[in-house]
Amino acid sequence: MKIDKEKIIKNICCTDLVYGRINKKLGTSFSEKEIESLMLKILSETGLKDFSKTGKNYYVTNRSHNIRITINSYTFRIITVDKLSSN
């Protein structure tokens, strides 16, 4: 299955609940605009080889930012972010 990175970046969005979830999981207190900018930056910098699709979700793993973003593949909404373990 071919993943269209540009389509993901163009259509990415968040809900109010997810902004709070992102701040909680990352231990930050970013504004909505700061979160949007960070997510777009990470998605843009991440190579296509680090995008994967399992079931209905895309998973974007960026090791330089130590983060994995989970995105719904139908709505392009960010579901959550996770810090990568340092193992």
Query: In tens digits, what is the pLDDT along the chain, a chain of 87 residues?
Result: 689 999 999 999 999 999 999 999 999 999 999 999 999 999 999 999 999 999 999 999 999 999 999 999 999 999 999 999 865
Residue 85's pLDDT is what? 82
Q: Is the CA virtual torsion 25, 81, 15, 55 positive or negative?
A: negative
Residue 80's pLDDT is what? 96
Residue 2's pLDDT is what? 87
Residue 1's pLDDT is what? 67
Question: Which token pair is 46?
Answer: 């991440």
Specify the number of domains making up the chain: 1
Residue 87's pLDDT is what? 58
Residue 77, strand partner residues = 13
Residue 15's pLDDT is what? 93
29: containing domain: 5-83
Environment class of 57 (CB within 10 Å of its CB; exposed 0-12, middle 13-18, buried 19+)? middle
